[in-house]
Amino acid sequence: MKEIFRAALVIARRDFTAIIYSKAFIFFLLGPFFPVLVGIAAGNLGGQIAREAAQPVVGLAMVQPDSEKMMKARETLAVNMGESYFTQMKIVGDPARDGNKDPQDYLKKKEDNLSVVVTGSLEDPTVTGTKRAVERESAAIELLAAYARNPAAMKLPEAKADFVAETANNDKQLRTVTAQGGQILVFFLTMLLAGMVLSNLVEEKSNKIIEILAASIPMESVFLGKLFAMLGMALLGIFVWTAVGGIGLQVAQGIPNFPTPAVGWPIFITLCFTYFIMAYLMLGALFLGIGAMAATVREVQTISMPVTMAQLINFFFASYALTKTGQPVEQFAAIFPFSSPFAMIGRAALEPNLWHHAVAIIGQILFAILLLRLGVVLFKRNVMKSGNAGRIKDAGKRKLFGLITVRG
C-alpha cells in the first residue's frame, strides 16, 4: 500500500507540474470567468435594449385638473410603493379640448405607446385597453384616483424596521434554497472538472510511455496519481475562482443572503468541499477507467456527450430527491454512490444530524476505490497488448474501448 501511494505521488507530481506549467493552464483558470463576463455583457446589453425599447404608458384623458392630480398622486405614492409599482403615465388628452373623442383613438397613436387610456373623472374613472392591460392597470389606477381625490384620507404611516437573524419561518422550506445552491455549485464544479479526467491517459497511450509506467509501478498508482493530480489542479482552480469571486462580490457588495443550513455554515461549507472531492473522485475514477479504454482523442470526444448527459441525469435525480425528504427516493439518492454527494449536501442543509455524513463519506471512498480497481482490471485486460493498444484488429473489425466490436 505504501508503495502504491509513493508511486502515485510520483505520477501526481509529474502530471500536476506538467499541467500548471503549461500555457493552457491560464485558460483553465480564466475559463469560468468567460461566462461571467459574457453574462455581465449580455445583461448590460439586454438592459440597454429594454431601456431603449418603448415602455407601456398609461394615458390620461381626463379633464386637465384631474389628470394633473393623478400625475401628482403617482409621484407621491411611488416614493412609498416603489417606482416599478406604477406604469409610467402621460396626459394625452382633455375632453374640454378634444370633445367626446373615442378613447380608442388615443390608443391608435403609435408614438405614445399607450397600454390603456383613463377617461371619466376621479370619482368614476374608465379604463380602456385590451383585457389583459386593463386587468393589469386597473388596481393601480383605482388607488391613484382615490389618493388624487382625497390625499389626506390615505396618509401612509412609516413602519419602523427591527431586523432579526432567524425566524420560525426560516425553516426547512427556506433551507431548501441553500441545499439547492450547494448542490448546483458542487455539481457544476464536478461536471467541469471531472470530465477532464476522461482524456487523461490518452497522452500516455499516444506517446507510448504507458508501457514504462505499467512495467515500473502498479497500474493502481498510475490511476491514483492521475486522479490526485487532476484533483490538485481542480482545488487550485477553485481556490483562485473563490478568491476572485469573493473579491468581486465584496467590491460589488452583492454577497447573496442564503438561509442558514441546518448544520451551520462552517460545517456545511466543509461538507460541500468534502462532497465535491468525493463526487470528483468517484466520477474521476469512472471516467479515468472509461477514458483509459479509449485509444484515441476522437474516441474520448465521442463518449464525452453521453457521459455529460449521465451526469445531468444524476444531478436532476439528486435535485428531485431534495423535495422528498425522508422518502424512499431521497434515501436511495443518498445511498446510490453517484448521487450520494449531492443528496447528502441537501441533507446537510435540511437536517442537523452529522453521523450519516460520516457513513456516506466512508461509503463513497470505498466505492471510489472499487471503481479504480475495476478500471485497472479492465485496462490490463484490454489495453496492454502487442500492436495498437485498445484495438484488436480482426478481419476488418476492431474493439472500441476494448469491449465493443465495431467495423473499421
Partner 1 sequence: MYAIEAQGLVKQFDGFRAVDGVNLKVPVGSIFGILGPNGAGKTTMLRTLLGIIDPDEGVRTLLGSDRPITQSRNVGYLPEERGLYQSMRAVDTIAFMGALRGLSLKEGKEKGRALLEEAGLGYAADRQIRQLSKGMAQTVQLMGTIVHDPKLIVLDEPFSGLDALNQAKLEKMIRAQAAKGVTVIFSTHVIAHAERLCERIAIIAKGKISFDGLVSEARDRLRPQVHLETETLDGVWRKALPADTRAEGHWWHFTLPESGVEPLLTALVEGKAGIKSLSIERPGLHDAFVAIAGESVAAEMDEPVAGEIL
Residues 6+ apart with CB under 8 A from 71: 60, 89, 91
State the Rg of the chain over Cα.
32
Asked if 395 is part of the footprint of partner 1 (rule: CB under 8 A), the reply reads no
CA 257 to CA 39: how far, in whole Å? 21
Min dist CB 386 to partner 1, Å, is 5
Residue 198 or 219: the one with the smaller Cβ distance to partner 1 is 219
CA 383 to CA 295: how far, in whole Å? 9
Only segment of 5-13, 68-76, 100-108, 306-314 that touches partner 1 (CB under 8 A)? 5-13
CA 396 to CA 408: how far, in whole Å? 6
Min dist CB 244 to partner 1, Å, is 28
Only segment of 70-78, 88-96, 241-249, 384-392 that touches partner 1 (CB under 8 A)? 384-392
Residue 112 or 203: the one with the smaller Cβ distance to partner 1 is 203
Residue 11 or 179: the one with the smaller Cβ distance to partner 1 is 11
Look up residue 167 and give its amino acid: T
Partners of 398 in beta bridges: 406
Only segment of 44-52, 61-69, 200-208, 357-365 that touches partner 1 (CB under 8 A)? 200-208
Selected binder of partner 1 within 110, 208, 298, 407 (CB under 8 A): 208
- The three cell numbers of residue 313 are 441525469
Asked if 322 is part of the footprint of partner 1 (rule: CB under 8 A), the reply reads no
Asked if 212 is part of the footprint of partner 1 (rule: CB under 8 A), the reply reads yes
Q: Which residues of 190-211 are buried (b: 16+ CB within 10 A; e: fewer)?
A: bbebbbbbbbbbbebbeeeebe
Give the torsion sign (CA, 7, 8, 13, 16): positive
Asked if 213 is part of the footprint of partner 1 (rule: CB under 8 A), the reply reads yes
Min dist CB 220 to partner 1, Å, is 10
CB 176 within 8 A of CB 349: yes
Min dist CB 227 to partner 1, Å, is 17
Asked if 215 is part of the footprint of partner 1 (rule: CB under 8 A), the reply reads yes
- The three cell numbers of residue 283 are 466520477
Q: Which residues are at the interface with partner 1 (CB under 8 A)?
A: 6-7, 10, 14, 18, 22, 203-204, 207-218, 380, 384-386, 392, 394
